[in-house]
Amino acid sequence: MGRSRSRKGRDVSGVVVLDKPRGVTSSEAVQRAKTLFNARKVGHTGSLDPLATGVLPLCFGEATKFSRFLLTSDKKYRARLRLGIRTASGDADSDIVEERSTKGVTLDRIQNAMGSFRGEIDQIPSMYSAIKHRGKPLYKYARQGVEVERESRRITVYSIELLTFSGSEITLQVHSSKGTYVRTIADDLGEQLGCGAHVVELRRLMAGPFTESDLVTFDEIDTARAEGRLDMLLAPISSAVSQWPAVRLNTTSAYYLRQGQPVVVPHAPSEGWVQLRESCLNDEWFLGMGEIMEDGRVAPRRLILGERKL
């Protein structure tokens, strides 16, 4: 008989909303958090560029089952742009490809140009992105000097606000759907203004239900680890899907649902995803996520192992 491979790390479940530092890739942040928590399983929920800082939710253990809900969630960013300089990647981490005068760029021109980025728009992703072409990330082609034809993607920009305009720099706040590249917005805006532009600072302010008020830094993780209160930094698994409506099940319905059977739930929404919660007297447990079927029953889709009291 072959020996089974030992699984390294602790069974830790929950969410840490990391304040990703600048100069660190999302994958590096995951590995560092995994080591600090000595966790068996950790994953991020949508990468941030090395230049970017801010909200990077990390899902541990059973919470990884719900990463998809954060991957597809809306995001909010604050970006500082430098006008007059265009770069290969649209941010400060790549070579300058063109410099132009910013003379004639006024507040009115900026605000008028920003109007074309509101609502549903088609965006062509940067070559410096993690989108794959034939199994290989686009940025690897870009580093080899190879240009790959990319199809535009439909995104929604719910709002784009001008926060500051000083000399050759502007600061924007962007609230958008998943898959939006702020670097591309900066580059396209610079072209509309006729001077070029790139991102010099980018901070994610929100990802789904999480905001800056939820952030935990690596320094705080180090301190908590030294003080033996590391797991107190973990938000509950249910926090990853708190933006979805909840349905409450009695003990009998919860039993059948755990067996994989759809159940009838009074007052459930007519469609979409729902949180599954078992209620008994004054106690409530998070079971996972379900989906409303065409006949109105609730079908289990993502269930956690065990029960998590709310």
pLDDT of residue 129: 77
Find the catalytic residue in 19, 49, 188, 214.
49
In the chain, pLDDT over 70 holds for what percent of residues?
Answer: 96
Pick from 179, 174, 221, 183: nearest CA to 17: 221
Note the pLDDT tens digit of each residue in 203-246.
Answer: 999 999 999 999 999 999 999 999 999 999 999 999 999 999 99
Q: Does position 18 have pLDDT exceeding 70, yes or no?
A: yes
For CA atoms 186, 172, 179, 31, the dihedral sign is positive
Q: Does position 131 have pLDDT exceeding 90, yes or no?
A: no
Count H helices and E strands in the chain, helices first. Answer: 7, 17
Distances (CA, A) of 157 to 113, 154, 197, 204, 227: 14, 10, 19, 15, 43
The answer to whether 49 is a known catalytic residue is yes
Instruction: List the single range of 23-27, 148-152, 249-253 with lowest mean pLDDT.
Output: 148-152
∠ CA 208-210-216, nearest 5°, is: 145
Mean pLDDT of 89-118: 95
pLDDT of residue 150: 86
The domains located in the chain, with CATH, are 14-72+210-239 (3.30.2350.10), 78-194 (3.30.2350.10), 244-309 (2.30.130.10)
Pairing between strand 197-207 and 210-211? antiparallel
**Token code pair at residue 28:** 């590096």
Q: Which segments of 38-106 does DSSP mark as H helices, in order?
A: 67-71
Cβ-proximal residues to 204 (8 Å cutoff; 6+ apart), any chain: 20, 48, 52, 53, 54, 55, 56, 75, 76, 77
Count the residues in the chain.
310
Q: How confident is the model at residue 114 (pLDDT cuts 50, 70, 90)?
A: very high
- Angle, helices 182-193 vs 107-114, to 10°: value is 130
